Structures are given as C-alpha cells and as structure tokens.
Amino acid sequence: MDSATIERWIKSLGRPYETLIAEGAIPNQSLAELYKGRDWLTMEPGRGMELSFWAETKCLETIHIVLLKTMEGMTEYKGELPRPFAPVMVQSGVRATFGEPIESKGPTKLPLNTMIGGWDAYRLDPATHPNIKVIFTYAETMQVKTLTFTLIDKGHD
C-alpha cells in the first residue's frame, strides 16, 4: 500500500462501496459482517488496515490503520502514510504537529486488563477533507497505536 492510495481512501469517505469498486479505488473484495445484525461491514485491504462501511448504505465511513501491534493476533501496517503522518509518532509529536485536539481522552483501562494511553481527535482541513477527522489512539507508551480516519457527521446515530 502507498500514501496516495490511503489519501484516496480518506477523500472517499462517505462514498458507496459499489462506486469505489467500479472506480478501482478499493479492492474488489466482499464485505464481511463480524456478527449478524452488526451496523458495519468491513474489509481488510492489507495488513493492519480495515475499511468500515455503514451496513444500511454501504458507504465508507471509517479507515483504521494499525501502526503498533499491542495484542497477539494483530497485524501492523508497514507501508507509506500521507503527509504529515509518520509510521512512528508519539503524542507529544502529534500535538506539536496538529495543535490542540478537538476531543481527547486520557489513559483508559479496557476489558481483559488492557490499557491504552488514550486518544486525540483532530478535524482535517475542511478545504481538502470536508467532514473528516483523524483519531490518534495511543499505546501505554504514548506511541501512536492506531490512526482512524472517519466522518464527523455520519448522517445516522
């Protein structure tokens, strides 16, 4: 995978699965349902990457990119990222680059006695990425574990 492909996906947030397939923007893979009745359908176009589509409309809503493996069975993305994102980032560097987050949460204990270092959310430039934000999820070390690009207003609950 390369940075141009990821940037194309980010700009494609909110667009239908069938259109993205027809344009060659995403691989021609079937969407998977983790369990019956789930609101999202997903595809994994590469190691450490997941695209999530709203089940009702099949519109692309979220892109997850795992940069740091923190659990057994996870895979990491090892390819290029669009600027100004980098494969290895820590919270202090994220805040120096992006400024004050629009939303933030500190360290949190998850089920199965797992800890995360929290997360920060930033709105992307509305001129080039309208209605899109990025969420940096941190490991306990405050290194960026996951990049999540998602719609701000999804048009549903």
Average pLDDT, the chain: 91
pLDDT at position 70? 78
Q: What is the mean pLDDT of residues 51-60?
A: 94
Q: Is the pLDDT of residue 131 over 80?
A: yes
Task: Give the pLDDT of residue 96.
Answer: 94
Cβ neighbours of residue 153 under 8 Å, at least 6 residues apart?
131
pLDDT > 70: percent of the chain: 100
Indicate if the pLDDT at residue 35 is higher than 90: no
Residue bearing the bigger pLDDT, 109 or 9: 9
Q: Average pLDDT of 59-63?
A: 96
Distance CA 25, CA 101 (A): 30
Q: What is the model's pLDDT at position 156?
A: 77
Q: What angle do CA 86, 90, 95 make, to 5 degrees?
A: 90
Residue 102: both structure tokens together:
């629009």
Q: How many C-beta atoms lie closer than 10 Å to residue 86's C-beta?
A: 13
Encode pLDDT of 1-22 as tens digits.
889 999 999 999 999 999 999 9
